[in-house]
Amino acid sequence: MTATFYDDPNRECVGLDPIWSDTGDNIPDVAATGATAGTPGTWTPAGANVIPANAAAATGITASPTTAWATGQYVQGSTAGTGGQMFWSATAWTAGKAP
């Protein structure tokens, strides 16, 4: 079963914190501590709901693999669209998809 998440228990999307499930339970903040390459990749740990907005905000997040990601790989930050896409260059988070 897939849960639907809302910004408040009354189903009014008014902000990002706190997050509530469709059953009215508060979903605790789980910060992303890592990211795995893909098209798109995924944030870790599983269930992370606090992710960086973009590459500039990804400081301290580890990448897997730690070598440069392959062409086209990226993870999506909380900023929608291309502005939130980032990849690991082997030394730093970089905006966009891996070249």
28: preceding bond cis by omega (within 30 degrees): no
Domain ranges of the chain: 1-30, 34-95
Reply yes or no on whether the pLDDT at 50 is more than 70. Answer: yes
- pLDDT recorded at residue 22: 56
**Three-state SS string across 66-97, please?**
CCCCCCCCCEECCCCHHHHEEEECCCCEEECC
Q: For the residues 7-22, what does the mean pLDDT come to?
A: 47
- pLDDT recorded at residue 26: 67
Instruction: Give the number of residues written for the chain.
Output: 99
User: What is the tens place of the pLDDT at every residue in 53-73?
Assistant: 999 999 999 999 999 999 999
Choice between 38 and 17, residue whose per-residue pLDDT is larger: 38
Edge-first strand listing for the sheet containing 93-95 = 75-76, 85-88, 93-95
pTM (2 d.p.)? 0.73
